């Protein structure tokens, strides 16, 4: 039983990334799939499992696997199911925990992808030693993992921490959840794209963004334009950061975290987004919280925070109590 490993999986609306992870947090090998390429979750589980078995063979670790940690949108730690995930075109309830556990013949544990990222940040990233912090993942949607007194906040239902679906603009933009004005409708790839289209069509000022085909307009290209001095591109991030920052004033009043970390595609915009967000937080936060919460990019690059977090969850759940490994 030496050199045991777990799988850490980050199942996102766009991509699914997995790693074979040691107890020390080394990712031995990483696998990536397009989530959207599979119509049904069964197809994804089958493809992932076969690839994992090949990789285990390659590194001679067929018998070393002791568990799977899964992070997925609307993943419920209590039921093991992905329930009504708005960013996955899957049936209402998908028992992903059982499907992966059966396919690979080891126990599995499932949580929200953002919760997995928060565990990763706590154990391997910028939140080491912190007892109260939040990780916000910004990608297709906006997720959040909240740590309180050193533990994840799951709440009574297992779904606590759905910050993407708290209301940033009352009666605002239509969200994928069917309601209006959710934070996710503004601060996400989709939200920033919509803001880009609105700003470009509503204003006459010149911008390099006007020469780009619509499918090239995304947070990354807009952020690059802003960093290169394009005024309209900066305006798009000022608007997004302002909505984010003033909303975080409420988050701080609820939770008073030591830090809020930003993770995922949009977060790579860095200070183009976090600068305006910090200013709006400072301008809107209640006096007693002033200057007490840091906004920072995740200390873990790429998608590895969620992989490492899901792996850490698996270690904690299945492997660590058995000492003497």
Site of interaction with its own copies (CB under 8 A): 74, 83-84, 130-133, 146, 148-149, 151, 153-163, 165-167, 169-170, 177-179, 246, 249-251, 253-258, 284, 286-289, 292-293
Could you tell me the smallest distance in angstroms from the CB atom of residue 85 to its own copies? 9
How far is Cα of residue 207 from the mean position of the Cα atoms in its chain?
31
CA distance 99 to 44: 10
What dihedral angle (degrees, nearest 10) is formed by the CA atoms of 128, 153, 166, 303?
Answer: 40
Residue among 157 and 301 whose Cβ is closer to its own copies: 157
Residue among 32 and 89 whose Cβ is closer to its own copies: 89
Residue among 168 and 273 whose Cβ is closer to its own copies: 168
Could you tell me the smallest distance in angstroms from the CB atom of residue 313 to its own copies? 16
Contact 31, 38 (CB under 8 A): no
CA distance 281 to 246: 5
Distance separating the N- and C-terminal Cα atoms of the chain: 7
* 3-class DSSP state of 213: coil
Could you tell me the smallest distance in angstroms from the CB atom of residue 253 to its own copies? 4
Could you tell me the smallest distance in angstroms from the CB atom of residue 198 to its own copies? 19
Residue among 45 and 168 whose Cβ is closer to its own copies: 168
Element housing 145 (H / E): strand 142-148
| Phi then psi dihedrals of residue 251, to 5 deg | -55, -45
Could you tell me the smallest distance in angstroms from the CB atom of residue 235 to its own copies? 20
Residue among 153 and 299 whose Cβ is closer to its own copies: 153
How far is Cα of residue 77 from the mean position of the Cα atoms in its chain?
16
CA distance 292 to 280: 14
Residue among 201 and 288 whose Cβ is closer to its own copies: 288
Could you tell me the smallest distance in angstroms from the CB atom of residue 111 to its own copies? 13
CA distance 234 to 273: 9
CA distance 100 to 96: 6
Residue among 154 and 239 whose Cβ is closer to its own copies: 154
Give 292's contacts (C-beta < 8 A, 6+ positions apart). 252, 256, 258
| Phi then psi dihedrals of residue 147, to 5 deg | -110, 125
Could you tell me the smallest distance in angstroms from the CB atom of residue 292 to its own copies? 5
Burial class (CB in 10 A: 0-12, 13-18, 19+), 167: middle
Residue among 132 and 317 whose Cβ is closer to its own copies: 132
Could you tell me the smallest distance in angstroms from the CB atom of residue 81 to its own copies? 11
């Amino acid at each position: 039983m030496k050199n045991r490993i777990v799988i850490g999986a980050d199942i996102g609306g766009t991509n699914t990334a997995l790693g074979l992870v040691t107890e020390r947090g080394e990712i031995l090998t990483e696998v990536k799939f397009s989530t959207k390429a599979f119509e049904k979750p069964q197809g994804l589980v089958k493809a992932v499992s076969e690839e994992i078995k090949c990789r285990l063979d390659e590194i001679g670790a067929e018998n070393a696997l002791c568990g799977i940690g899964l992070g997925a949108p609307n993943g419920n730690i209590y039921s093991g199911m992905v329930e009504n995930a708005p960013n996955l075109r899957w049936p209402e309830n998908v028992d992903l925990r059982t499907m992966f556990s059966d396919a690979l013949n080891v126990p599995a544990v499932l949580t929200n992808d953002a919760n997995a990222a928060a565990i990763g940040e706590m154990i391997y990233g910028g939140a080491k030693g912190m007892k109260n912090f939040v990780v916000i993942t910004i990608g297709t949607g906006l997720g959040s993992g909240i740590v309180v007194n050193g533990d994840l906040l799951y709440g009574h239902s297992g779904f606590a921490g759905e910050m993407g679906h708290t209301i940033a603009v009352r009666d605002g933009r239509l969200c994928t959840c069917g309601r209006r004005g959710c934070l996710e409708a503004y601060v996400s790839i989709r939200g920033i794209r919509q803001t880009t289209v609105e700003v470009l069509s509503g204003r006459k000022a010149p911008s390099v963004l006007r020469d780009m085909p619509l499918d090239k307009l995304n947070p990354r290209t807009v952020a690059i334009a802003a960093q290169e001095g394009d005024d309209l591109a900066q305006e798009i991030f000022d608007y997004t950061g302002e909505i984010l920052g003033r909303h975080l004033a409420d988050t701080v009043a609820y939770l008073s975290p030591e830090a809020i970390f930003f993770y995922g595609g949009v977060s790579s915009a860095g200070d183009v987004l976090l600068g305006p967000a910090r200013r709006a937080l400072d301008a809107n936060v209640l006096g007693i919280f002033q200057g007490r919460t840091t906004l920072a990019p995740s200390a873990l690059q790429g998608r590895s925070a969620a992989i490492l977090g899901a792996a850490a969850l698996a270690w904690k759940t299945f492997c660590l109590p058995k000492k003497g490994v």
